[in-house]
Amino acid sequence: MYSLDVNFLNDRAERQTEAAAVARGGSRDSPRPLYIGLAIGALLPGLVGGLWFFLQSQNASLLARQQELDGQLATLQQAMKEVENVNAKVSLLDSENQALARVFDKIVPWSAILQDFRGRVPAGVQVTGLTQKAGVAPTASTAPAPATTPDQPAAVAAQPELPPATIELTGYCQSFSDANDFVLVLQQSPFLDSRNVRLVDVALIDNPTTIEFVGRGDRSLQVELPKIVQYTISAGLTKRPASELLQDMKNTLAVGLPARVDALRELGVIKP
């Protein structure tokens, strides 16, 4: 008998070799990979160029916007300088108004003071003289150092304010009690500092009144008048501003300064 011996493994290897050769031959002959490579090579420079033009346009737009903002900033800076100048002028006017208000607020008319004194003189008291003495500035050893601020050196700091003026009343009265009563009455005056009203000198003197006889009377007649008391009273003017003394000044019929103070109040220069 005959037997058939077939080796299928060897036959499979030959077929795989042929299929691989056919596949290699087909891929070598196809132009598709070449076209794809050319397309990619042409597309990349175009994308780069388009991106470059886009960035250039954006840069130009940003530069234009920057120039516009720089112009607006310059305009705003100029406006701010004008505002600062206006604020400086307003501050100067405010300081001048405050200085003017302080001047008016420190003035007390003498007509009001004299009218108030006249209504307070007791019966039997005579006022013969009234003098005013300016306040004495404190010496360098006793005066406190003026306050300073970071923007205001000590050389230009405000000088200490002078104390208020004092007045001196002289006259005659019937007795020492009359002089003491006059001091107590003056201490109640709103235009004086009650703590600085005091009797500085008092003395019993001969009556300086001169008596003359007119007509044919007996010229040898002598009249002896009783002794009287001569007094000297010192009083310091009040430190209260005029705006706090308006009603007291109006009670003495002083209308000029109260009208000015009322006008400054209406303008807001003097606070109520």
In total, how many domains does the chain have?
1
Asked if residue 216 belongs to a domain, the reply is no
Asked if residue 38 belongs to a domain, the reply is no
pTM: 0.55
What is the extent of the structural domain holding 249?
Answer: 106-135+162-210+224-266
Asked if residue 250 belongs to a domain, the reply is yes
> Digits of tens for pLDDT over the chain (272 positions)?
455 555 555 555 555 555 554 455 544 556 777 777 777 777 777 777 778 888 888 888 888 888 889 888 989 999 999 999 999 998 888 888 777 777 767 777 888 888 888 889 998 899 999 998 876 555 544 445 555 444 444 433 444 555 678 899 999 999 999 999 999 999 999 999 989 999 999 999 988 887 776 666 556 667 778 899 999 999 999 888 877 877 887 777 676 767 777 776 776 666 66
Asked if residue 72 belongs to a domain, the reply is no
Asked if residue 259 belongs to a domain, the reply is yes
Beta-carbon contacts of 124 under 8 Å, excluding residues fewer than 6 positions away, are: 173, 174, 175, 178
Asked if residue 14 belongs to a domain, the reply is no
Asked if residue 199 belongs to a domain, the reply is yes
- CATH code for the domain in which residue 166 is found: 3.30.1360.100
Asked if residue 32 belongs to a domain, the reply is no
pLDDT score for 24: 54
Give the angle 84-266-250 at the CA atoms, nearest 5°: 140
pLDDT score for 18: 54
Tokens found for residue 119? 């209504």
